[in-house]
């Protein structure tokens, strides 16, 4: 095995271990109502960033600090949502199985749509406000807000859709099954 | 979820949960055997996800059964009923 292949295999193993650890974190938060509550709390943050960018006076040096403060609120929300979704919406394909890849692809499409629409709106904003002397700085911050929104949409959507974690999914595979299913029939799809 | 593009969504029923119980396997163990995440086994058992042909073959290999014994378009009758009625007929 070449050094590159070995390094890749090690990186994948580390990634799998990281996801496994993530799946064990915040067990009491891994329920649908809590995930949804967190998404509902997260959503106003990127929207606030967009509104602030469009309304604040960018000549004032405090403005950037206000923007950074809101940005600082966005980051922990996104981190917790990533933990609660085991980063399935953002992990590389090699770390996911076929179901997760299917879900990730659907979410990525939504993210791409959000980003494309936001970019188009920003282009129109630039065209209609080309004589604004602060348009460059305002658009730069607007782009950051839109990129952050699009980047976190897959994780937020997944968190919204995910059902409660099933404790049986978190059982240690190295331990023999301690509960035998008693359904005799097949499972309806 | 069915992978078809349009048209009538036809269900795929499976017997994974009962086979897993029969073999004394946890979801994690079955997931490890077919190299997927345990949540995917749960999704298959609930019918939230239809497996690819590759995954279906892998699952059947674990139980040493043909595909039609594990997956079917028609709902499976309970195994206990089948065995009981077989005994009655013979």
Q: Is residue B56 part of a domain?
A: yes
Residue A153 has pLDDT above 90, yes or no: yes
- Report how far residue A91's alpha carbon sits from residue A83's, in angstroms, rounded to the nearest whole number: 12
Q: Residue B20's closest CA among B74, B51, B65?
A: B65
Q: Is residue B8 part of a domain?
A: no
Q: Is residue B3 part of a domain?
A: no
Residue B3 has pLDDT above 70, yes or no: no
Higher pLDDT, B2 or B86: B86
Q: Is residue B5 part of a domain?
A: no
What is the H or E stretch that residue B4 is in? Answer: none
Residue B17 has pLDDT above 70, yes or no: yes
Domain count for chain B, please give it: 1
A92-106, B1-15, B57-71: least confidently modelled range: B1-15
What is the H or E stretch that residue B9 is in? Answer: none
**Residue A163's pLDDT is what?**
87
Q: Is residue B44 part of a domain?
A: yes
B-chain residues within 8 Å CB-CB of A170? 38
Averaged pLDDT, A78-100: 92
Q: Which residue has the tokens 């919204």?
A: A160
Residues of chain B above pLDDT 90, percent: 60
Q: Where are the domains of chain A?
A: 26-164
Residue-level length of chain A: 189
A90-104, A155-169, B59-73: least confidently modelled range: A155-169
Q: Which of A98, A173, A182 sits opposite B26 (nearest CB)?
A: A173
Residue A188 has pLDDT above 50, yes or no: no
Residue A142 has pLDDT above 50, yes or no: yes
Q: Report ipTM (2 d.p.).
A: 0.79
- Domain containing B48 equals 13-89
CATH number of the domain residue B62 falls in: 1.10.260.40
pLDDT in tens, A32-45: 999 999 999 999 99
Q: Between chains, do B75 and A185 touch, taking CB under 8 Å as contact?
A: yes
Q: Is residue B27 part of a domain?
A: yes
Averaged pLDDT, B65-69: 94
- B25, closest residue in chain A (CA to CA): A177
Residue B58 at interface with chain A, using a CB cutoff of 8 Å: no
Q: Is residue B50 part of a domain?
A: yes
Q: Residue A38's closest CA among A121, A156, A175?
A: A156
Residue B1 has pLDDT above 90, yes or no: no
Q: Is residue B1 part of a domain?
A: no
């Amino acid at each position: 095995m070449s050094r590159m292949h070995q390094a890749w295999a090690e990186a994948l193993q580390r990634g799998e271990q990281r996801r496994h650890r993530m799946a064990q974190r915040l067990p009491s938060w891994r329920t649908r109502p809590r995930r949804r509550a967190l998404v509902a709390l997260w959503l106003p943050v990127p929207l606030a960033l967009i509104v602030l960018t469009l309304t604040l006076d960018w000549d004032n040096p405090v403005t950037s600090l206000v923007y950074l403060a809101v940005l600082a609120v966005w980051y922990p929300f996104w981190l917790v949502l990533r933990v609660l979704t085991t980063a399935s919406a953002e992990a590389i394909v090699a770390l996911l199985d076929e179901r997760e890849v299917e879900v990730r692809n659907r979410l990525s499409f939504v993210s791409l749509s959000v980003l494309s629409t936001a970019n188009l709106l920003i282009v129109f904003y630039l065209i209609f406000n080309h004589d604004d002397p602060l348009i460059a700085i305002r658009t730069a911050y607007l782009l950051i807000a839109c990129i952050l929104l699009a980047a976190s949409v897959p994780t937020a959507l997944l968190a919204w859709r995910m059902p409660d974690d099933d404790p049986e999914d978190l059982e240690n595979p190295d331990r023999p099954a301690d509960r035998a299913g008693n359904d005799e029939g097949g499972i309806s799809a | 979820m069915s992978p078809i593009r349009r048209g009538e969504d036809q269900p795929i029923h499976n017997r994974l949960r009962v086979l897993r119980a029969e073999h004394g396997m946890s979801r994690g163990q079955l997931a490890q055997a077919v190299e997927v995440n345990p949540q995917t086994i749960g999704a298959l058992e609930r019918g939230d996800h239809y497996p690819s042909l590759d995954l279906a073959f892998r699952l059947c290999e674990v139980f040493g059964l043909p595909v039609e014994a594990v997956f079917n378009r028609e709902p499976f009758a309970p195994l206990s009923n089948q065995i009981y009625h077989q005994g009655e007929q013979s």
